Amino acid sequence: MSLRDPGRTCLVTGASRGLGLELVRQYVADGWVVHACARDPASGALGEAIAASNGNIVPHVLDMMDPEAPARLAHDLRGMSLDLLINNAGVYGPPVQDLSGVDQQAWLDAFTVNSIAPVRLTLAFLPYLAKVKGKVVTITSRMGSIGDMMAGGYYAYRATKAAVNASLRAISIDVAAQNVTSVVMHPGWVRTDMGGKEAPLSPKESVTAMRKVISGVTLSDTGKFFNYDGEILPW
């Protein structure tokens, strides 16, 4: 199956580095127009990619801690059709998340970014996705799977990912009648700032594999929890 699909449009959050930056690069290389969202999209590698994209990367300032940011962005892009929304932005949360304790405010901040902001963004862009029977892909983690949990620790991170899994599963039921497909996806253990240098996958490997899965997902798959390689994961 060819992934090249010129003329289509996607929106990626957390686009300034890691998986988000690689998602932007690969979709633009395959002819998509990409709306790249970050707190400072003009800086660093994303800024360089924007400058070289001939206008096919459209930058947007988006702070996932701002509860009104999703609605403002949707208003700025009113009238647009959106083929693919990728909720990629995320944080690890408090540095300590074990039996010694968890910082409450840092945990709440992680909930805002990992659990609440993707829901608000998805709801804000539903009309744009419904125009073209679009797809919502939320990058989560198998660490948010209760059925797959074989180790402890990481309380805040696990909880925020379990929460976004539950919310997007519910949204998938509510929007099926609008022909919008919504899935959540674990990207694997990837060599990013969060994943660390020991991770077995590069961002390129992870994104290439995820894009194959995303391209094949249909409305019959809505509500599923995918691994980056297409395996169905337990909730």
Residue type, 56: N
Task: Let me know if residue 2 belongs to a domain.
Answer: no
Select from 90, 86, 81 the least CA-distant residue to 27: 86
Using left for φ > 0, alpha for ψ between -120 and 50, and beta otherwise, residue 60 falls in: beta
Task: Let me know if residue 1 belongs to a domain.
Answer: no
pLDDT of residue 196: 87
pLDDT of residue 195: 86
Write the pLDDT tens digit of every residue in 171-202. 999 999 999 999 999 999 999 988 888 889 99
Burial letters for 187-200: b for 16+ Cβ neighbours within 10 Å, e otherwise?
bbbbbbeebeeeee
Percent of the chain clearing pLDDT 90 (strictly above): 93
Q: The whole model's pTM is what?
A: 0.95
pLDDT of residue 193: 83
Domain harbouring 37, CATH code: 3.40.50.720
Classify burial at 227, counting beta carbons within 10 Å of its beta carbon; exposed 0-12, middle 13-18, buried 19 or more: middle
Contact yes or no for 24/57 (Cβ under 8 A)? yes
| pLDDT higher than 50, residue 160 | yes
Contact yes or no for 233/226 (Cβ under 8 A)? yes
Separation of alpha carbons 19 and 155, rounded Å: 23
pLDDT of residue 1: 31
Residues 6+ apart with CB under 8 A from 228: 185, 186, 187, 188, 201, 206, 209, 210, 213
Write the pLDDT tens digit of every residue in 123-145. 999 999 999 999 999 999 999 99
pLDDT of residue 175: 94
| pLDDT higher than 50, residue 3 | no
Write the pLDDT tens digit of every residue in 52-81. 999 999 999 999 999 999 999 999 999 999
Count of structural domains within the chain: 1
- Which domain, by its residues, includes 100? 9-227
Q: Sorting pLDDT into bands at 50, 70 and 90, what band is 228?
A: very high
Alpha helices in 31-142 (DSSP H): 44-51, 69-76, 104-111, 117-130
Residues 6+ apart with CB under 8 A from 194: 18, 90, 92
Mean pLDDT of the chain: 95
Q: Sorting pLDDT into bands at 50, 70 and 90, what band is 89?
A: very high
Q: Sorting pLDDT into bands at 50, 70 and 90, what band is 2?
A: very low
Helix H or strand E segment including 205: helix 203-216
Task: Let me know if residue 56 belongs to a domain.
Answer: yes
Task: Let me know if residue 235 belongs to a domain.
Answer: no
pLDDT of residue 223: 97
Separation of alpha carbons 28 and 207, rounded Å: 13
